[in-house]
């Protein structure tokens, strides 16, 4: 973005430079020096004579529209007009400030000349200068126009027409100009709007660059002209047309790149832009002819590049290519037209106002490219949907596969633990082996699930202060049997170290690192160490295993990735033999991903034959006071205030009532209990609707549980109720169902009570 802004600024600067240098370098011979052309009240006849004498042939030759550099004449024959009317002399595309107009006479012989000097005030956007004349009917006039100052533009148009017609003509042209610019601007604004809607940066580029292009164009054409009125601005504007192509071109090429991003194309555009920029700057100081040639060739170059890009895009056979082709087509035609006109007519193009075609082609290009960007977005969104679907299918597949594969493993696990009792001394070793394999198979499936969960973004990071030495101690204890069975040692050396990390993830990282070390170490041992670094704790896992080659180190964490790409190609042909070995690299790739998630730096060093070291740099925790109490069970025991319900109990058995009350209150419920209905009424008289009413069906009195619940339901609308009963008869069940009462069968257990509360 920055380099783009710099580029645009440079372009504009170069234009100013050109405008200044042009003044000093343009040195052309004026075929009609001012003295010869000077008209004075007393010397009109002389002037005309002189004029006729010296330039008669030229005058005749050019006839109706006389064009020379610096001045021209127009013979206006309005002899056949009977009416007196107002005329307008229009000098278009002159783009100079001062124009002298001489109405020389009725006939060549009869001179009654008037003359007028035009200035900015007479300027009419965008048609050039206009002069109102009042001419007598049935007469013949010669109108001479002298352009004061230096002529820059090569094309001068002039015409004389009735005022009414001119007004219409000017209005039409202005309207056309405004319409096209407005349309381009509208597209740009629409694109910006789309950006806010879709947050797709391509739209933003499109909108912003096109807007800038449009604004500069309008600014220069209108505002500058009308308000500032500097002579040099005219030149500035015409020179700026070229680079304005460039600006717009860059806007479009950016979209083009958005359609098909290619570094080569990008580079090509930059080189092209720079060449164009430099050639414009240098040629401007070399005089008009060279400048004109350079402009022509840059136009040609642009056209060639546009065509080349389009061909390149089409070769790639993307739908975007067709949009590009269509978009570039009008602009290329216009550029070629410019080029050929420059060469053939040497700058003089009669009566062709190419600017309108130019604007129109910009608009068309803009429109088509916007369509292209929209189409690209659609394609992207479709691709995204397809990819999401595929990824979902993959996750489902993995989940389903690991679920199904785990089922037999689980029953095998249970059966193995049941078998243990019956196995005699010699068989126990084998049973242990089976158990170990089972554990590692389960671990592998767990890893697969972890990875798919990570990919699905289900795992969330929960950073807290962790006692690292405590964790290492437990892990060493856990892995000790495995180490002993391989007759290697596992030790840890640590000072008090508290770190900030997600406990589960850090544990998984360490577990994977240790089991990786265990797997690769045949003799010697494993050492876990912590060292304090500034504000961090360096945790290292050393082993005296086989070590790794330098080249292997780089891919040690990405092994799964390679396997994964293989898998994606053919989901049906998963090489299960890969899963059976420990070499799948799942463990280390999880280590990598978890440490990335936790923002922990992870490095590995190794020497073949000596061993490896994995290092983690963990952020040190300042809150050592947060003491973690590790529970014996890995289940989360219920908290005291787990349920916050108000419950009314009615049972005629005081023992059951008290037991229930105690259990419910231990879970945080507010319980009102009563042995009889009147008592309950008394106790709950001033209370609002409870969350639950529990009543024994058999209350020993006249009222049974149903009746009590019904009465309460009348009083408290929406009341939830449960009926406790030992009666399993169908009628009770049906009645309860009809009245939307939950049934609790005796014997009541805490389990049932919890189940009841859980349903609320």
Provide DSSP, 81-100: --S-EEEEEEEES---S-EE
Stretch that binds other proteins, among 26-34, 50-58, 365-373, 734-742 (CB under 8 A): 734-742
Q: List the x/- string, 414-453, binding to other proteins by CB under 8 A.
A: xx-xx-----------------------x---x--x----
Among 154, 486, 567, 745, binds other proteins (CB under 8 A): 745
Per-residue string for binding with other proteins, 475-504, x by CB under 8 A? -----------------------------x
Does position 406 interact with other proteins (CB under 8 A)? The reply is: yes
733 binds other proteins (CB under 8 A): yes
| Beta strands at 692-696 and 721-725: parallel, antiparallel or unpaired | parallel
The only residue of 458, 532, 552, 679 in contact with other proteins, by rule CB under 8 A = 458
- Tell me if 618 contacts other proteins by CB under 8 A: no
Identify whether the C-beta of residue 128 lies closer than 8 Å to the C-beta of residue 83.
Answer: no
Angle at 115 between CA 111 and CA 121, to 5 degrees: 160
Token pair for residue 315? 């070769």
Give the number of residues in contact with other proteins, rule: CB under 8 A. Answer: 55
Least Å from the CB of residue 725 to other proteins: 10
With respect to other proteins, which residue has the nearer C-beta, 378 or 749? 749
Contact mark string toward other proteins, 384..403, x via CB under 8 A: ---------------x---x
CB of 664 to other proteins, least distance (A): 10
Q: Which of 531, 539, 544, 484 is nearest to 507 (CA)?
A: 539
Which of 342, 350, 245 has the alpha carbon at shortest distance from 290? 342
d(CA 694, CA 680): 11
Which tokens sit at 161?
């027409």
Distance in Å, CB of 650 to other proteins, minimum = 17
Of 26, 72, 19, whose CA–CA distance to 234 is shortest?
A: 19
- Classify 464 as helix, strand or coil: strand
CA distances from 443 to 343, 409, 448, 511 (A): 79, 11, 9, 11
What does the per-residue mask of binding to other proteins show for 502-541, with x meaning CB under 8 A? --x-------------------------------------
Sign of the CA dihedral running 58, 64, 67, 73: positive
The answer to whether 728 contacts other proteins (rule: CB under 8 A) is yes
Least separation in angstroms between CB 318 and other proteins:
30
Shortest distance (Å) from residue 736 CB to other proteins: 5
Residue with tokens 């979209």: 255
How far, CA to CA in Å, does 510 sit from each of 190, 331, 587, 600? 54, 64, 10, 13
- Torsion angles phi and psi, residue 570, rounded to 5: -140, 95
Q: Please say which residue, 454 or 553, places its beta carbon nearer to other proteins.
A: 454
The gap between the terminal CA atoms of the chain, to the nearest Å, is 59
Closest distance to other proteins from the beta carbon of 717 (Å): 8
Using CB under 8 A as the binding rule, whether residue 754 contacts other proteins is answered as yes
DSSP 8-class letter at 158 = E
Please tell me what DSSP assigns to residue 620.
B
619 binds other proteins (CB under 8 A): no
Burial of 659 (0-12, 13-18, 19+ CB in 10 A): middle
What is the CA 271 to chain-centroid distance, rounded?
A: 27
Does 661 interact with other proteins (rule: CB under 8 A)?
Answer: no
List the one residue from 52, 411, 599, 601 that touches other proteins (CB under 8 A). Answer: 411
Q: Name the residue nearer to other proteins (CB basis): 403 or 711.
A: 403
Structure tokens, 72: 């021209």
> Residue 198, Cβ neighbours under 10 Å: how many?
14
633 binds other proteins (CB under 8 A): yes
User: Residue 74 has which token pair?
Assistant: 């127009």
Among left, alpha and beta (phi > 0; psi -120 to 50; other), residue 443 is: alpha
Site for other proteins in 280-339 (CB under 8 A): none
**By rule CB under 8 A, what string of x and - marks binding of each residue 138-157 to other proteins?**
--------------------
DSSP state letters, 595-617: HHHTT-EEEEEEETTTEEEEEEE
The CA-CA-CA angle for residues 124, 127, 129, to 5°, reads 55
Residue from 56, 410, 433, 477 touching other proteins (CB under 8 A): that is: 410
Give the shortest CB-454-to-other proteins separation in angstroms.
13
User: Is residue 713 part of the contact set for other proteins (CB under 8 A)?
Assistant: no
CA torsion through residues 525, 530, 531, 536, sign: positive
Stretch touching other proteins by CB under 8 A, among 62-70, 100-108, 231-239, 744-752: 744-752
Which of 182, 222, 229, 413 touches other proteins by CB under 8 A? 413
For residue 404, the minimal CB distance to other proteins (Å) is 9
- Closest CB to other proteins among residues 35, 731: 731
Smaller CB separation from other proteins, 156 or 459 = 459
Of 82, 565, 625, 636, the one binding other proteins (CB under 8 A) is 636
How is residue 751 written in tokens? Answer: 């389990």
Minimum Å gap between C-beta 708 and other proteins is 17
Residue 609 binds other proteins, judged by CB under 8 A = no
Coil, strand or helix: which one is 168?
helix
Shortest Å, Cβ 568 to other proteins: 23
**Min. distance of Cβ 518 from other proteins in angstroms?**
21
Nearer to other proteins, 112 or 749 (CB): 749
In sequence order, what are the residues at sequence separation of 6 or more whose Cβ sits closer than 8 angstroms to the Cβ of residue 750?
663
Q: How far apart are CA 658 and CA 55, in angstroms?
A: 130
Nearer to other proteins, 119 or 727 (CB): 727
Shortest distance, CB of residue 415 to other proteins, whole angstroms? 5
Q: CB under 8 A: which stretch of 96-104, 128-136, 569-577, 627-635 binds other proteins?
A: 627-635
To other proteins, the closest distance from the beta carbon of 721 in angstroms equals: 11
498 neighbors 621 (Cβ within 8 angstroms): yes
Q: Is the dihedral of CA 711, 716, 717, 720 positive or negative?
A: negative
Judged by beta carbon, residue 351 or residue 635, the one nearer other proteins is: 635
Residue 3 makes contact with other proteins by CB under 8 A: no
The yes or no reply on residue 635 touching other proteins (CB under 8 A) is yes
Question: What does the alpha-carbon distance between residue 194 and residue 665 come to, in Å, rounded to a whole number?
Answer: 59
User: Does position 598 bind other proteins by CB under 8 A?
Assistant: no
Buried/exposed code over 445-462 (b: 16+ C-beta within 10 A; e: otherwise): bebbbbbbebeeeebeee
Distances, alpha carbon 239 to alpha carbons 126, 281, 299, in Å: 17, 10, 13
With contacts defined by CB under 8 A, name the span among 143-151, 302-310, 561-569, 730-738 that binds other proteins: 730-738
Least distance in Å: CB of 410 to other proteins?
A: 4
Using CB under 8 A, which of 40, 474, 575, 642 touches other proteins?
A: 642
Instruction: Candidates 108-116, 229-237, 264-272, 637-645: pick the segment binding other proteins (CB under 8 A).
Output: 637-645
CA–CA separation, 10 vs 418, rounded Å? Answer: 84
Using CB under 8 A as the criterion, which residues of the chain lie in contact with other proteins when the complex forms? 399, 403, 406-408, 410-411, 413-415, 417-418, 442, 446, 449, 458-460, 462, 504, 631, 633-638, 642, 663, 667, 717-718, 722, 728, 733, 736-737, 740-747, 749-756, 758-759
């Amino acid at each position: 973005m920055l380099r783009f802004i710099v580029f645009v600024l440079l372009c504009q600067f170069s234009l100013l430079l050109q405008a200044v240098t042009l003044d000093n370098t343009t040195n052309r011979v004026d075929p009609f020096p001012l003295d010869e052309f000077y008209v004075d009240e007393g010397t009109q006849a002389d002037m005309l004579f002189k004029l006729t004498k010296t330039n008669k042939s030229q005058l005749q030759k050019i006839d109706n529209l006389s064009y020379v550099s610096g001045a021209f004449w127009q013979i206006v024959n309005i002899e056949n007009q009977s009416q007196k009317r107002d005329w307008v002399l229009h000098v278009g595309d002159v783009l100079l400030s001062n124009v002298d107009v001489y109405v020389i006479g009725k006939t060549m012989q009869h001179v009654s000349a008037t003359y007028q000097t035009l200035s900015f005030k007479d300027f009419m956007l965008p048609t050039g200068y206009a002069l109102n004349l009042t001419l007598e009917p049935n007469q013949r006039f010669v109108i001479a126009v002298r352009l004061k100052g230096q002529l820059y533009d090569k094309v001068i148009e002039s015409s004389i027409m009735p005022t009414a017609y001119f007004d219409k003509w000017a209005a039409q042209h202005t309207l056309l100009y405004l319409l096209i610019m407005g349309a381009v601007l509208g597209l740009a604004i629409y694109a910006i709007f789309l950006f806010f809607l879709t947050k797709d940066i391509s739209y933003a580029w499109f909108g912003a660059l096109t807007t800038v292009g449009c604004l500069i164009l309008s600014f220069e054409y209108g505002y500058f002209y009308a308000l500032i009125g500097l002579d040099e601005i005219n030149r500035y504007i015409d020179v700026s047309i070229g680079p304005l192509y460039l600006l717009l071109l860059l806007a479009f090429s950016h979209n083009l790149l958005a359609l098909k991003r290619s570094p080569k194309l990008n580079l090509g555009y930059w080189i092209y832009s720079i060449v164009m920029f430099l050639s414009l700057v240098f040629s401007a100081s070399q005089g008009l002819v060279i400048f004109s040639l350079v402009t022509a060739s840059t136009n040609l170059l642009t056209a060639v590049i546009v065509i080349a890009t389009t061909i390149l895009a089409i070769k790639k056979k993307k739908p975007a290519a067709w949009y590009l082709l269509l978009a570039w087509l009008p602009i290329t035609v216009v550029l070629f037209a410019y080029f050929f006109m420059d060469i053939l007519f040497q700058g003089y193009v009669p009566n062709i106002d190419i600017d309108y075609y130019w604007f129109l082609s910009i608009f068309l290009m803009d429109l088509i490219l916007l369509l292209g960007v929209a189409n690209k977005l659609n394609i992207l969104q479709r691709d995204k949907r397809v990819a999401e679907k595929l990824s979902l299918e993959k996750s489902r597949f993995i989940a389903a596969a690991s679920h199904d594969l785990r089922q037999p493993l689980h029953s095998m696990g249970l059966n193995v633990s049941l078998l243990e009792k019956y196995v005699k001394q010699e068989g126990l070793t084998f049973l242990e082996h089976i158990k170990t394999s089972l554990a590692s198979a389960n671990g592998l499936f767990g890893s697969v699930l972890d990875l798919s969960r990570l990919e699905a973004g289900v795992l969330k990071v929960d950073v807290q202060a962790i006692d690292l030495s405590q964790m290492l101690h437990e892990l060493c204890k856990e892995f000790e049997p495995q180490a002993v069975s391989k007759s290697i040692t596992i030790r840890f050396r640590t000072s008090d170290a508290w770190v900030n990390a997600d406990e589960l993830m850090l544990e998984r990282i360490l577990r994977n690192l240790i089991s990786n070390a265990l797997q690769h170490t045949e003799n010697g041992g494993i050492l876990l160490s912590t060292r304090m670094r500034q504000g961090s704790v360096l945790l290292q896992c050393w082993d005296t295993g086989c070590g790794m080659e330098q080249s292997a180190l780089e891919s040690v964490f990405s092994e799964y990735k390679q396997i994964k790409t293989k898998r994606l190609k053919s989901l049906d042909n998963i090489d299960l033999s890969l899963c059976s070995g420990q070499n799948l690299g799942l463990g280390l790739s999880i280590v990598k991903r978890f440490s990335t998630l936790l923002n922990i730096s992870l490095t590995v060093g190794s020497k073949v034959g000596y061993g490896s070291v994995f290092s983690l740099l963990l952020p040190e925790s300042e809150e050592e006071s947060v003491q973690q109490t590790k529970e014996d069970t890995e289940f989360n025991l219920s908290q005291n205030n787990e349920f916050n319900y108000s419950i009314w109990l009615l049972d005629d058995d005081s023992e059951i009532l008290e037991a229930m009350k105690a259990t419910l209150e231990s879970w945080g419920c507010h319980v009102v209990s009563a042995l009889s209905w009147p008592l309950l009424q008394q106790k709950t008289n001033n209370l609002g609707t409870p969350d639950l009413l529990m009543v024994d069906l058999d209350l020993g009195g006249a009222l049974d549980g149903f009746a009590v619940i019904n009465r309460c339901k009348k009083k408290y609308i929406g009341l939830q109720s449960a009926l406790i009963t030992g009666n399993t008869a169908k009628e009770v069940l049906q009645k309860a169902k009809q009245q939307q009462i939950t049934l609790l069968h005796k014997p009541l257990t805490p389990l049932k009570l919890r189940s009841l509360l859980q349903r609320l």
